[in-house]
Structure 1
Amino acid sequence: MSTEPLHIVCPHCHTTNRVATAALAQAPDCGKCHRPLFTGHPVALDEAAFDKHIARSQVPVLVDFWAPWCGPCRMMAPAFEQAAAQLEPGMRLVKVNTEEAQALASRLQIRSIPTLALFVDGREVARQPGAMGAADIVRWARSHRR
């Protein structure tokens, strides 16, 4: 594992923080807002915050593209929540409401929801449409991260 500090975007104020790799497991706080950088819960992002997290975070970002009217999306929400508790701090889990971020969904060509997409170093490396359980989300995400 690298000893270089990683850039981690705060889920609360969206400030980019430098965190030593070894310190990830020690529940680091944001240097600006002093809140935890990892909460064990998915982070809801709008388009601007999404772009910042994807571009600036040096941990993989797993995105759940969903909508409030989507039954399978609502069914998968607790599983995605459970997956966040298992995958953080080695991965950031975020949720993007495609009803509120229609331009982003269009730009990324999200054709069905729910859709999971994994971003590493600012690039999408894997995509999986359809609802999944927590164990399947964790297994899928770990199998595609680098």
Structure 2
Amino acid sequence: MHINVVCPHCLKVSSVKKKETYTTEHCKECGGSLLESKPLNANLAILDYFIHTSDLPVIVDFWAPWCGPCLTMAPHFEAAAMAMPLQAQFLKINNDNAQIQNPTIIIVNIPAVLVFKDGKEIDRFTGARSSKQIIKWVEKYL
């Protein structure tokens, strides 16, 4: 079985064989490592592209630079992303910019972490969490 994954370097879609673990996997287009799973700073257009082209769950942290809990959670969100290469794709979106661009995703409290699968939002949580808590939450959707 193969899965479609969006390359974090060139944003092209690569089809990769689904495995339990990976030692190496590269983008078919640019050759960049698909195991570099640091959260990608994104906007709503990139989010839309990911949720409609990636077969992996897309985990999105809506945050703002003035939000203390957002800044506290940021390294935990990154650690969770780095621990889950080719299991989920992690994005960060500045909520202040997103709400100006298009208020289609309603975010009332931040940080807000949403999971998208099969093109739609399936769950979310608000408030800061540790990397272990984030990983445990994401694992429910793998």
TM more than 0.5? yes
- Secondary structure of 1:128's partner? strand
Q: 1:73 to 1:118 in 2, by over 3 A?
A: same
CA distance in 1 between partners of 2:114 and 2:120 (Å): 10
Identity of aligned residues (%): 35
Listed one character per residue, the Cα deviations across residues 35-67 of structure 1 (whole Å, up to 9, x for unaligned) are: 112313111112221111111000111111111
What residue ranges of structure 1 are gaps of 5+ in the alignment? none
* Cα offset, 1:120, TM superposition: 1.1
- Structure number with the higher helix fraction is 1
1:130 to 120, 127, 131: 127
Residue among 68, 73, 78 paired with 1:76? 73
Normalising by structure 2, we get a TM-score of 0.91
> Do residues 44 (structure 1) and 41 (structure 2) align?
yes
Counterpart for residue 55 of structure 2:
58
Task: List, as ranges, runs of 4+ consecutive aligned residues in structure 1 with deviation greater than 4 Å.
Answer: none
Unmatched tracts of structure 2, length 5 or more: none
Total equivalences in the alignment: 142
Residues 1:102 and 2:99 are matched in the alignment:
yes
C-alpha contact (below 8 Å) 1:29/1:37 kept by paired residues: yes
TM-score, with length taken from structure 1: 0.88
- 1:136 and 1:55 mapped to 2: Cα distance? 26
Asked if structure 1 preserves the Cα contact closer than 8 Å seen for 2:115 and 2:124, the reply is: yes
Counterpart residue number, 1:89:
86
Does the C-alpha gap of structure 1 residues 83 and 104 become closer, same or farther in structure 2, counting only changes over 3 Å?
farther
